[in-house]
Amino acid sequence: MPLRDLIGPITCGVAAACLLAAVAVDLDSTAAKVLMVAAAVFFVPGAFLTLVFVRRYLGPPL
C-alpha cells in the first residue's frame, strides 16, 4: 500500500490524538481550545482523503 493511501488515516489519527490531548488538559484553557481547532483542521481533510482512498479501491456505493 503506497504512502499516499495512508495520508488520510494518519491525518485522522493525528486529529484523534489532538482531541485526546484536549480532554486531558483543563477544558477552559487556551491549550484545549487550540488542540480542538487543530483536531478540526486535521480531521476534515483526513476524512476526505480517507473517503478518496476507499472509493478508489472499493468503488462508489451501490
- What residue ranges do the domains of the chain occupy? 1-42
pLDDT, mean of residues 17-29: 93
C-alpha 62/C-alpha 47 separation (Å) is: 20
pLDDT, mean of residues 24-43: 94
C-alpha 62/C-alpha 42 separation (Å) is: 29
- Cβ partners under 8 Å of residue 31, min gap 6: 22, 25
The predicted structure's pLDDT at residue 3:
87
The predicted structure's pLDDT at residue 43:
96
C-alpha 42/C-alpha 6 separation (Å) is: 14
| pTM assigned to the model | 0.81
* C-alpha pair distances (Å), 40 with each of 14, 30, 58: 10, 15, 27
